[in-house]
Structure 1
Amino acid sequence: MAAPVSSLTASEECITTRSAIVAGNLTGHHLLDIEGYSVTKELLPCVNCMDSRRFKFGGRLWYICYYPKSIFNGVHADFISIYLFLVEGIDKPVKAVVTYSLLDQAGKPVPSHIITTGVYKYYTQYFGLHQFIKREFLEKSDHIKNDRFTIRCDITIKKLEAEERTALPASVDVPPSDLHQHLGNLLVTKEGADVTFQVTGESFRAHRNILASRSPVFKAELFGAMRERAMRRLS
């Protein structure tokens, strides 16, 4: 038995839809000023931190945790730790790369203290550096002045998502022009003729638009300032 054959009938439509996979980076930064550094060491013992104010980036809220005496005890206790948190309550994780920098007094990153993380998924997790700055290095450097220094946090969100797109209209095959045939039919049938010529006593009906398009003399006569009425006779 032969297999059934399907065909596209004239009443069926061919519908085109379109979407896109979009990838890119969104980058911004936050400056965290530590004022009264020596006091933060007194008030915040090891594994204790102070949160920054929340800031908005990429449509989400973030904050930074500053640990003046490290997030861990033991061998890491001589370091300042810094961590970035994403506020909970988002519908999906955010992939981001973060760069932490100690700034000098001119506001420029100190080359020895520019540290970039890998790509992490921020959801309920937090990521950062438990050995960001050794306190002895900071306290002997020129990067702290009047008990104050600044940390810069650069965030690069990795965007990868699917988006809807408007489909371009399907191409249409335009049939060859048959304007000459239509004009010929007008001349034969005299349909829509609106001007009459008198030549040696014989009348000929014509279309003023066609005459004007073919002759500047007729154009001036039929559409110029001297025309008197819609229908007229020319001899």
Structure 2
Amino acid sequence: MPHAAGSGGPSRSASAIVADTVRGYHVLRIDGYSLTKGTPTGEYIKSHPFTVGGHRCYIKYYPNGNKPEVKDYISFFLYHDGAPTKEVKAQFQFHFVSEVPKKPLTLEDVNIFDGQSSWGYTKLIQRTELEKSEHLKDDSFAVRCDIVVVNDFRAVEEEAEVVTPVLVDVPPSDLHQHLGDLLLTEKGCRCGV
């Protein structure tokens, strides 16, 4: 088949759509845990504000759950400080500092701040379970909130992968030489049997 003038073969190009993300975390240590147990159900103690990906956030710690049906649990929630000017997409995860996260953060389950919502766990751990665990030491424990903020998606150019056949030089066989040497030395030979 004739080629058009100037064509030297197939055109190759590649691109990828990538998430422009910012990762960060905030560690909240609760010193004097036993003193916080007197906080009524539904009431919280707020962390110091922190910033991830240009968004100011804070954590609410509910020592006796954030609602009556979870009053025997400790609840933690991540809040956006003030109404965001646009929709904020992010992924988060709370875990005790003394443990490995249950799963790495991915962008599979992206949450959206709509200005009113919060993200968190109503049942991070039952209080009696915490009190028997290794997480509570000297009336203190710490949780870490890992956060990935998705700023945008963008297309980037990638170098096209050129598939070239892998050529391996195979030396000529010298099996005949080895067989001849065996016959001459009579090694491994059952001669005269």
**Same fold, TM-score > 0.5, yes or no:** yes
Distance between the aligned counterparts of 1:46 and 1:73, measured in 2?
6
Distance between the aligned counterparts of 1:89 and 1:143, measured in 2?
34
Alignment of 1:71 with 2:66, yes or no, is yes
**Matched letter for residue 118 of structure 1:** D
Change (3 A) 1:88 1:56: same
Q: CA deviation at 1:22?
A: 6.0
Alignment of 1:26 with 2:17, yes or no, is no
User: 2:134 aligns to what?
Assistant: 142
The runs of at least 4 aligned residues of structure 1 exceeding 2 Å deviation read 21-25, 108-111, 114-118
User: 2:74 aligns to what?
Assistant: 80
Q: CA deviation at 1:133?
A: 0.9
Distance between the aligned counterparts of 2:67 and 2:129, measured in 1?
19
In the alignment, which of 96, 109, 120 is matched to residue 111 of structure 2? 120
Change (3 A) 1:34 1:55: same
Q: CA deviation at 1:139?
A: 0.1
Q: Give the % identical residues.
A: 34
**Matched letter for residue 19 of structure 2:** A
The structure whose RCO (Cα within 8 Å, separation 6+) is larger is 2
- Kept after mapping to 2: 8 A contact 1:50/1:67: yes
Distance between the aligned counterparts of 2:23 and 2:59, measured in 1?
17
Q: What are the Cα deviations for residues 48-77 of structure 1, in whole angstroms up to 9, with x where unaligned?
A: 101101011111200000000000102x11
**Structure with the bigger percentage of helix:** 1
Q: CA deviation at 1:115?
A: 9.5
User: 2:191 aligns to what?
Assistant: none
Q: What are the Cα deviations for residues 148-183 of structure 1, in whole angstroms up to 9, with x where unaligned?
A: 0000000011232569xxxxxxxxxxxxxxxxxxxx
Distance between the aligned counterparts of 1:64 and 1:34, measured in 2?
12
Structure 2: 5+ residue runs without aligned partners?
1-16, 156-193
- Kept after mapping to 2: 8 A contact 1:88/1:123: no
Distance between the aligned counterparts of 2:27 and 2:125, measured in 1?
16
**Matched letter for residue 132 of structure 1:** L
Change (3 A) 1:72 1:120: same
**Matched letter for residue 29 of structure 1:** Y
Structure 1: 5+ residue runs without aligned partners?
1-20, 164-235
TM-score, scaled relative to structure 1: 0.53
Distance between the aligned counterparts of 1:110 and 1:23, measured in 2?
22
Distance between the aligned counterparts of 1:71 and 1:85, measured in 2?
14
In the alignment, which of 120, 131, 139 is matched to residue 123 of structure 2? 131
TM-score, scaled relative to structure 2: 0.64
For these two proteins, the number of residue pairs brought into alignment is: 137
- Kept after mapping to 1: 8 A contact 2:41/2:65: yes
What secondary structure is seen at the aligned counterpart in 1 of 2:85?
Answer: coil
